[in-house]
Amino acid sequence: MSGAWRIVARRTGGPEVLEREDIALPVPGPGEARVRHEAVGVNFIDTYHRGGLYPLPLPTGLGTEAAGIVEAVGEGADPTWVGRRVAYVAQAPGTYATHGLAPVARLFPLPDAVSAETAAALLLKGLTAWMLVERCARVQPGQSVLVHAAAGGVGSVLVPWLKAAGATVIAHAGSAAKAARARDSGADHALHLPFDQLAGEVRALTLGRGVDAVLDGVGADSWAASLASVAKRGILVTYGNASGPVPAISPLDLLRAGSIFLTRPTLFDYIETADDRRAGGQRLFGLIADGTIRADIGQRFALAAAADAHRALEARTTTGSTILVP
Ligand code: NDP
């Protein structure tokens, strides 16, 4: 027995398809490191993988990020990595495990002040916020931005990031308590409204103009409100499907919305090159170091209870980040 194990899905379905499975200790291939996980980040994408919205060959591991200690490296990798504290975003799901393999080129060394739990809470979500604010919407000081699910994992990083960028932040969340959290994290306006009333309120807050950017990870349910909230020539960034995928649209919808820009990014395309990972990592760890971004770990689950983490995330009962501890 290696003592190593993982969470596996042998079929797609609800959280009950997640099972624990003993595995051999992973052996790093050329250029790879084996990381002993100390904390694993839970992301909404993990539910898309489990449920089949994003199809994967089965059986499959789950999980797209983890933090821990490098235990071993493969041929050609710098041996001084061994013993270092790192975090990584996996290229293929499988970080819900005691150990994982990653190319050393994709490891983010952790500053002393950043714990494994903080890294697992913030790496993927923080890089996503960087992508959305600085690479997609390219938010400028004085602009206004609408953020949905503003007390969630990505949302609770976006709010302070946008404030640091000099934006006016209109936060929207699914309950009054979540809206209050978004206000506490710096939102200028924190709303808890039915989606069919949201655009009217956004227009009222922006003197009829609408916002320069909408950052929308909710998807199907928020789509119409998002489209109706963007200012002329503003940008709508739809980056997730928490309530289901956005329906098909026509380019003419963008004309009718005021000649707006639309993008549907995935983080994986924005951290493909070493330069991008360095740039994103520097920005994120810089904002963690200066206190702009703090880990808001709303929930911790044992790794073996990953199914419970999925239930909570899908039931909208979580706030901030959710992590699993092996
Ligand atoms: P969150 O912690 O934000 O959880 C999702 C939140 O979405 C819920 O808490 C809830 O907040 C809101 N929501 C609205 N409707 C529903 C619904 N029907 N079911 C469940 N949740 C709903 O998750 P993450 O921070 O992990 O991810 C946020 C979004 O960002 C997801 O869509 C995810 O896929 C996306 N994402 C995209 C990336 C990319 O590269 N494109 C990278 C990382 C994340 P409330 O109750 O306040 O409405």
Residues 50 and 94 in one domain: yes
- 263 near 110, Cβ under 8 Å? no
Residues 23 and 60 in one domain: yes
Residue 309 lies in a domain: yes
The residue whose CA has the least distance to atom 35 of ligand 1 is 240
Among 228, 248, 267, the domain boundary falls at 267
| Cβ contacts of 281-286, under 8 Å, gap ≥ 24 | 281/108, 281/127, 283/130, 283/134, 284/122, 284/123, 284/126, 284/127, 284/129, 284/130, 285/108, 285/111, 285/114
Of 56, 52, 65, which is closest to residue 14 (Cα–Cα)?
A: 52
Residue 248: the pLDDT is: 95
Residues 133 and 95 in one domain: no
Contacts of 72 (CB under 8 A, 6+ apart): 27, 28, 33, 34, 82
Q: How far apart are CA 276 and CA 216, in angstroms?
A: 23
Residue 262 lies in a domain: yes
Residues 109 and 129 in one domain: no
Pocket (CB within 6 angstroms of ligand 1): 43-45, 124-125, 128, 149, 151-155, 173-174, 178, 217-218, 221, 239-243, 265-267, 313-314, 316, 318
Residue 161: the pLDDT is: 98
Residue 319: the pLDDT is: 98
DSSP 8-state symbol, 136: I
Residues 146 and 84 in one domain: no
E strands along the chain, which residues?
4-9, 18-23, 32-42, 60-61, 65-73, 85-89, 99-103, 108-109, 144-147, 168-172, 189-191, 211-216, 230-238, 261-263, 297-302, 321-325
> What is the domain extent for residue 55?
4-115+295-325
Residues 189 and 163 in one domain: yes
Residue 277 lies in a domain: no
**Ordered DSSP codes for 153-164:** TTHHHHHHHHHH
Residue 280: the pLDDT is: 98
Residue 49: the pLDDT is: 98
Residue 287 lies in a domain: no
The reported pTM is 0.98
The total number of structural domains that make up the chain: 2
DSSP 8-state symbol, 246: P
Please tell me the distance between residue 240's alpha carbon and the centre of ligand 1 in angstroms: 7
Q: How far apart are CA 269 and CA 127, in angstroms?
A: 12
Q: For residue range 266-314, list pLDDT tens digits in order.
A: 999 999 999 999 999 999 999 999 999 999 999 999 999 999 999 999 9
Residue 2: the pLDDT is: 84
pLDDT along the chain (326 residues), means of 10: 93 98 98 98 98 97 98 98 98 97 98 97 98 98 98 98 98 98 98 98 98 98 98 98 96 97 98 98 98 98 98 98 98
Identify the CATH number of the domain in which residue 255 sits.
3.40.50.720
Please tell me the distance between residue 235's alpha carbon and the centre of ligand 1 in angstroms: 19
